[in-house]
Structure 1
C-alpha cells in the first residue's frame, strides 16, 4: 500500500457539527413551511450546501430562482456560523487528538478534505488551526462529494498520488468520492459498512496502527 498521507473529512470524523447543521436547516425549512427531520439531515452529511438545499426543496411545490436559492444558502450559512461560535477545543475528543498526534509523530502527511466552506473556521474553533499541512474545502472546489475533486485537490497539494493516500470518512458520499478518485478509504460509523470501504473503523484510535502497518 505504501501509505504516505491521510486525508480526513472534518464533520463527523474529527469533530461533530451535525447539531448545528440540523438547527440551521430546520429553521430555514420551517420558514418555507417544509418538514425537516433527523433522517433528512443524515442524507445531507458530506453534501455541499447548494446540493443540500435541493434535497430539502425536493418536496416543495413552489419554484425558486437561482438568486432566491443563493439567498437561502447564505441565510442558512450565517445561522450555522452563529451556532459554530459555541464550539471550542473541548469539542475535539481526546481520542481524535491522540490519533492525530500519533499520525504526525509517525511521519504521515495530514490533510482535511471537506465540502464545507467553514472548515478553516471550525478548525480554529476546536484548536486545530495550522495543524494540518493542507486544508481543502468547499471554497476551493466546483463539485461537492460524491465527486472526488476535494480529495484530489488535497492530494495534489500534499504532492501525493491518490493511491498513497488514505481517506477517512463517515458518510456514503465521501466514501464514493474517495473510491472514484482512486484513494484508499477508511469508514467510520455508518460509513464502515459502505460498499468500497477498504478499512472499516470502530474509532479513530485504530488509525495509527493501521497506517503504520501500511507504510
Structure 2
C-alpha cells in the first residue's frame, strides 16, 4: 500500500475561482464574432486548454472560418483581456477552506504541486500570495496532451519526486477527475455532479468541506479494502 506523501491541485475552481474572469474574457471575443455564449454554456470550457476553448466557441458558428493566424490573434486578445481581469486578484480570492488545508499540508510534510491548464498559473499564485507554498507548478506549454489525458498529473507527481499512487489529486471538472484516475491517483471531486465512468474516491460539495486528515484517512482505508 502506498503512503500518501503528495497533493496535486487544479487551480481554477480549486485554489481560487477565476472562472468568471475567463468567462468575461471569452464572452468579449465571442460577442465580437457574433457568437452568443452564457455562463451555463461556459461550463463546457472548464479544464480544457485555451486553444480547445476557442475551437468550441467557433463551432457554434460553422460559417466563421478563420485561418491559423486569425485564431492565434484571438487567443492573444483573450489572454490580454483575462490578464486585465486577474490584475485585481488578491489573497482574499483564495477559496474558503483552502488556506487552512494548505497550511495543514505544509505542517504535515506533504509535497504539493499545481496541475492546471492555465498558462497564467504562476502569475495567479503570485497574486494570491501562494508562490512559495507549492513545490512545483506544471508548465502546460511543455505538455503533449491536455486533460483528460493523465500526462499533467503524471508530470506533477514526477516533479514532486513521487509515484502517482502516493499523491491525491483535487479537481472540480470531470475531465480533471478522469485524468487523475487514469494517472493512478486517488481523486477528490469538488462541487461537480459525478455520473461518469471515472468516479472520484471522495466527493465534497465545496472547498470549505475539504478536511485533509479525513481525506487521507478515507483514501488509505479504501486502498486497504481494495488492496
Which TM-score tier does this pair reach, normalised by the shorter chain? Answer: over 0.9
Of the candidates 52, 65, 78, which is equivalent to residue 76 of structure 1?
78
RMSD (Å) for aligned C-alpha atoms = 1.6
Aligned to 1:198: 201
Q: Which residue does the alignment assign to 2:66?
A: 64
In the alignment, does 2:25 pair up with 1:21? no
Question: Is the contact between residue 97 and residue 210 of structure 2 (CA under 8 Å) also seen in structure 1?
Answer: no
Aligned equivalents of 2:150 and 2:87: distance in 1? Answer: 29
Residue 213 of structure 2 is aligned to residue 209 of structure 1:
yes
In the superposition, relative to structure 1, how do residues 148 and 178 fare at CA in structure 2: closer, same or farther (>3 Å)?
same
Name the structure 2 match of 1:3: 4
Q: Secondary structure at the match of 2:192?
A: helix
Check the 8 A contact 2:202/2:215 in 1, yes or no: no
> Corresponding residue for 2:147?
145
After superposition, the Cα gap between the structure-2 partners of 1:48 and 1:110, relative to the gap in structure 1 and judged at 3 Å, is: same
Do structure 1's residue 44 and structure 2's residue 79 form an aligned pair? no
Return the alpha-carbon distance in structure 2 between the equivalents of residues 186 and 46 of structure 1.
Answer: 15
**Mapped contact 1:106–1:212 kept (Cα < 8 A):** no
**Contact 1:167–1:185 (8 Å) recurs in 2:** yes
SS at match of 2:170: strand
Is the partner of 1:111 in helix, strand or coil?
A: strand
Shift of 1:183: 1.4
Q: Which runs of 5+ in 1 are unaligned?
A: none
Deviation at 1:94, TM superposition (A): 5.0
1:111 maps to 113
Q: What CA distance in whole angstroms lies between the structure 2 residues aligned with 1:107 and 1:192?
A: 31
Inter-CA distance 62–192: structure 2 relative to 1 (3 Å threshold) = closer
Give CA deviations for 1:84-141 in whole Å, capped at 9, x if unaligned. Answer: 0010111114511011100111111111100100000000011101210011132332
The aligned runs of 1:88-107 (5 Å cut-off) are 88-107=90-109
Deviation per CA, 1:64-86, whole angstroms, max 9, x where unpaired?
11121111111101110110001
Deviating 4+ runs (over 4 angstroms): 191-194
TM-score (norm 1): 0.94
Instruction: Extract unaligned runs of 5+ from structure 2.
Output: 221-227
* Aligned residue pair count: 215
